[in-house]
Amino acid sequence: MRMRNVNNGKMAEATPSASGEEYPWKRLNVSVQDADTLRQEAVEAHHDHLITEIETSEGPLATTLRAVYDGDEIDYFMEKLDGRIKSHDHEIERMCNYHYQGFIDSIRELQQVSGDATKLKGEIQGLNRELQTSCDPLLSAGDELVKCRKVQKNVTQAIESLSLCLPVLEMYGKLQEQMKSKRYYPALKTLEQLEHTYLPRVINHWFSQTMADAIPKLRERIKEASMTELKDFLESIRKHSAKIGEVAMRHAAEQNNMDPTIAKKKVKKRRAPAPPNPFTGEIDYEPPRPPSDGEDAEEELSAQDLVDFSPVYRCLHIYTVLGDKEKFETYYRSQRWKQARLSLQPPSNMHESIDLFKRYFHDIIGFFVVEDHILHTTQGLVTRSHMDELWEKAVEKISATLRSTSARLASDPCRGLEEKQFDHFHLKVDSLGNQTVPNDSQSPEDEEDEEDDEDEQSCKVASLMLEVKKLIVLFCHTLKGYGFSVGRLLELLLEMRDRYSEILSEQWVEVFNDIFAEDNYTPIFCDSPDDYTIITSQFPYRDKDLEQSDYPRQFPFSQFVPSIYVQVKEYINACLKFSADLHLSHTEIDDMIRKSANQLLTKTLGGCLSSLIKKPNLSLLQLIQISINMNYLEKSCEYLEEYISSITGAEKDSVHIARLHGSSMFKDARSDAEQHIYEQLNLKIDEFLDLASYDWTVQESRGQASSYLMDLVAFLQSTFMSFTNLPVFHTSWAKYVEKVAKTACMSACQHIASRLMALLQDNDIRQLSMGALQQFNLDVMQCEQFAASEPVPDSNDGTLQMAFTDLRQLLDLFINWDWSVYLADFGKQQARYLRVPRHTAISLLEKLNNADKKKNNLLQSLKKNEREKKKLIDTVLKQLKVLENGTT
């Protein structure tokens, strides 16, 4: 509130006056207002403001009224409001009074206008009636026009709707037609267009929802149908895998300069129909053309031309479009792995036929050729890593199958051969080597048929093994051309090579035994140059003396020497066939051939020779001929080594080349033959000595040698005479026969001496008389006479007689009763009876003493000389026992 009061335009002065009046301060005209007055003025000003807002406001008065009621002077406000209302009433009344005359004038004018208006209304109604009468036809025409416009609009809308719906219906009909004709991939594309392009245009039509609801079902039908086609394809590809593999192997054989007939099977050939378009399903018809002469309709086809892959492509595209590609890939790979397992499962009797091996390899190759084609014609369905994984599993299974099959080839057909590999060699010979007919239950014809069957079976096994090797090589070449690693399969061939060598060895057992059975074990005679040329072409034997001699010419060996040599070469050639196409170096091939040849010579041929030599029906002359044959076979090993080097291309003097062990084997065989000669002769001697029957208590001898010993000496003389009279035309052969004869004669004399000594020392003989000793002495003298008669040329050096020295000294000691010399020379190196052991002398003296005791019991009284003899025997026995105990 301002503190000023305007009076005549001047402000009252509140400062003291400068005049010199009595009262320096000027008096104010208006008294100073107190606080209540100021507050009252403020309240009035506030109420005036609120009333002004109520008058001027056009909006809500809630805020103004709230301010009124919040204050304490509501009654005062009401008074102010009534005052304002009355002020306005006065103002209104004043204004009305001012304009009253104008109002009256306006009323009068309005009444006048009302009359004019009534007149005008009448005129207008008349005009209206006239207008209605004249416009009735026009209104009727307008209504018709409106109706026509509506029809036209409806027709236009119908045409537009049909224009939108007809393509949809046409696409749906096309979809149904494609589904009916099994063209699923085009049907899927049509379905996609229908769903995304055409149906949105007719979304307001009721049938669009029906179609939209049917689309998922149609997709499932397409998926199921395409999957059905895929299953049919998988079944078909399983049936045709063998044919695909055969064609692929034949092409690989042509590319690698191999024989295409290795992979070829004799089946009726037909050309596969042209595959349909994988997306449209349409088949391009090609009229058949007659093949030219000698033309194979399939020669121009590749493996991929033999099968229609469109179901795979369609199904893959369909599942890709439908977003289930991974599901399809998983299903396809699992099904193909199941088929791979079926292909890798060999037939139970695969080892019996090469066609079964071909079928097995064809199936496997066909499987991987199909997978390789899928790999290169699709993206992601078959990956390289997946293919490598499949191949690794397949290689393991193939290796295991081929190992087991080759083991069965090596064992089953040859089972039992080891037990009867020499049983067919039933030559019966007499002591001079003449062959006789065997007396067995089986006829010779039956035995020959059985042997032929075994030989044929063994040959079939070896040939089958070789064909299998060729198939494996071609199998490796074929799959290598498709990018697969075949190193492990080639290593497997090296294992099969050992199996093949074992099978050949079993086969050659029969070959060698047949050679031994057919040989007559006599030197070969050649009556003509042609016969001589045949033998020299078979066996590398050169002798200048023989070449310059007249016909008939005689070789020192029998027929089985060139036959064995030829068969060993045949075995080497058979082993060489297996090493072909294995990509081995000359040195590796040479080592392989030599290893197999050593196995043949040392085990197979060595075993056959050992069994041959041990045959009890061989004569001594045949054994001698076998020994001679071993000498020449031993020398032939050098020529075999040269032959191996020539066919393998390896350097003969290379440090890596292994040597043949045949020489040592033939030496051992010759030693066995010689030893068997001695053993056979000793067995015959035993037969004579077993006939010995001595009366060990006889008082006097018969005065001549025993009959059994005379027969034995006669047998020995005839036997060694036959040795001497052999038709020998070669100096080396004669020397060898002479050496064997001397050794045999010495062995016979030693064996006779040991048997006679054992006869004297037999513990079953309890009593021995001097008459028996004298008879025994006569027999020993007969043996000594035989030894001194030079039964073998150049054997008169006293060596044979030395075999009977022990017997001679023993008998001389007892017959001459030279005990004083024996006891005196005991322990001396130059003793006369050095070869008489003390225990032998004691044993014989005890037997003599036992005989005397029995005689004394029978004769109560003894002669004086017999009593002295008895006393002497006791004395000698005591001295000998003292010496025996002292030495001990």
Q: In this predicted model, what pLDDT tens digit does every residue of 93-108 receive, in sequence order?
A: 888 888 888 888 888 8
Residue 790: C-alpha distances to residues 431, 432, 745, 796, 800 (Å): 22, 21, 10, 5, 9
What is the predicted pLDDT for the residue at 401?
84
The DSSP letter of residue 852 is H
3-state secondary structure of 427: coil
**Dihedral angle, C-alpha 553, 557, 562, 563, nearest 10 °:** 120
The label of the residue with tokens 């090469």 reads 354
Q: What percent of the chain has pLDDT over 90?
A: 1
Question: Helices (H), strands (E): how many in the chain?
Answer: 26, 6
Most distant CA pair in the chain: distance in Å? 228
Residues 6+ apart with CB under 8 A from 391: 368, 484, 485
pLDDT confidence band for 149 (50 / 70 / 90): very high
What is the predicted pLDDT for the residue at 884?
67
Q: What is the mean pLDDT of the chain?
A: 76
What is the predicted pLDDT for the residue at 151?
93
Instruction: Report pLDDT digits (tens) over 492-527.
Output: 877 777 777 777 788 888 888 888 888 888 888 888
CB atoms within 10 A of CB 584: 18
Whether pLDDT at 450 is above 60: no
Residues 6+ apart with CB under 8 A from 587: 650, 654, 656, 657
**Amino acid identity for residue 801 in this structure:** Q
Please, what sign has the CA dihedral across residues 477, 479, 483, 489? negative
Instruction: Please answer whether residues 815 and 742 qualify as being in contact, where contact means their C-beta atoms are separated by less than 8 angstroms.
Output: no
Q: Which of 795, 796, 800, 842 is nearest to 823 (CA)?
A: 842
Helix (H) or strand (E) holding 309: none
Give the span between the Cα atoms of 439 and 447, in whole angstroms.
13
Question: Which residues is 428 bridged to in the sheet?
Answer: 436
What is the predicted pLDDT for the residue at 225?
82
Residue 21: C-alpha distances to residues 29, 180, 489 (Å): 19, 136, 149
Instruction: Please answer whether residues 647 and 628 qualify as being in contact, where contact means their C-beta atoms are separated by less than 8 angstroms.
Output: no
What are the residue ranges of helices labelled H in 182-306?
184-193, 206-255
3-state secondary structure of 429: strand
Give the span between the Cα atoms of 509 and 459, in whole angstroms.
12
What is the predicted pLDDT for the residue at 863?
58
Give the phi and the psi of residue 196 in degrees, each rounded to 5: -95, -20
Peptide linkage before 552 cis (omega within 30 of 0): yes
Instruction: Report pLDDT digits (tens) over 677-714.
Output: 878 888 888 888 888 888 888 888 888 888 888 888 88
Question: Which residues is 11 bridged to in the sheet?
Answer: 6
Residues 6+ apart with CB under 8 A from 559: 518, 519, 520, 524
* Range name among 265-269, 391-395, 463-467, 548-552 with the lowest pLDDT average: 265-269
Q: What percent of the chain has pLDDT over 70?
A: 79
Q: Which of 394, 236, 244 is nearest to 312 (CA)?
A: 236
Span 270-280, average pLDDT: 48
Span 34-50, average pLDDT: 81
**Amino acid identity for residue 548 in this structure:** Q
Tokens of 256: 């690698």
Give the span between the Cα atoms of 158 and 205, in whole angstroms.
12
Q: Which of 54, 95, 96 is nearest to 78 (CA)?
A: 54
Q: What angle do CA 729, 730, 735 make, to 5 degrees?
A: 120
Instruction: Report pLDDT digits (tens) over 16-35.
Output: 444 444 444 445 444 545 78
What is the predicted pLDDT for the residue at 238?
84
> Angle, to 10 degrees, between the axis of helix 74-180 and the axis of helix 184-193?
160
Span 856-864, average pLDDT: 50
Tokens of 194: 């229908």
Whether pLDDT at 858 is above 50: no
Intra-chain end-to-end CA distance of the chain, in Å: 171
What is the predicted pLDDT for the residue at 155?
92
The DSSP letter of residue 6 is E
Q: What angle do CA 573, 591, 397 make, to 5 degrees?
A: 85
pTM for this one?
Answer: 0.60
- Residues for the chain: how many in total? 888
Query: Structural domains in the chain?
Result: 74-180 (no CATH), 219-283+301-412 (no CATH), 428-522+558-682 (1.10.357.30), 692-887 (1.20.58.670)
Instruction: Report pLDDT digits (tens) over 51-66.
Output: 888 888 777 878 877 8
Q: Which of 244, 234, 263 is nearest to 369 (CA)?
A: 244
Question: Which residues is 667 bridged to in the sheet?
Answer: none
Residue 505: C-alpha distances to residues 319, 387, 562, 567 (Å): 60, 41, 19, 11
pLDDT confidence band for 320 (50 / 70 / 90): confident
Q: Which of 571, 570, 601, 596 is nearest to 669 (CA)?
A: 601
Give the span between the Cα atoms of 542 and 530, in whole angstroms.
16
Whether pLDDT at 252 is above 70: yes
Distance from the Cα of residue 702 to its chain's centroid: 84
Give the span between the Cα atoms of 526 and 515, in whole angstroms.
19
Span 178-201, average pLDDT: 78
Span 70-81, average pLDDT: 80
Give the span between the Cα atoms of 556 and 628, in whole angstroms.
8
pLDDT confidence band for 268 (50 / 70 / 90): very low
Give the span between the Cα atoms of 629 and 558, in whole angstroms.
7
Between 31 and 315, the higher pLDDT residue: 315
What is the predicted pLDDT for the residue at 628?
80
Question: Which residues is 560 bridged to in the sheet?
Answer: none
Tokens of 803: 């075999």
**Amino acid identity for residue 128 in this structure:** N
* Range name among 129-138, 277-286, 522-531, 631-640 with the lowest pLDDT average: 277-286
What is the predicted pLDDT for the residue at 885?
67
Residues 6+ apart with CB under 8 A from 783: 709, 713, 749, 752, 753, 756, 804
The label of the residue with tokens 């469109």 reads 310
CA atoms within 13 A on the CB side of 313: 18
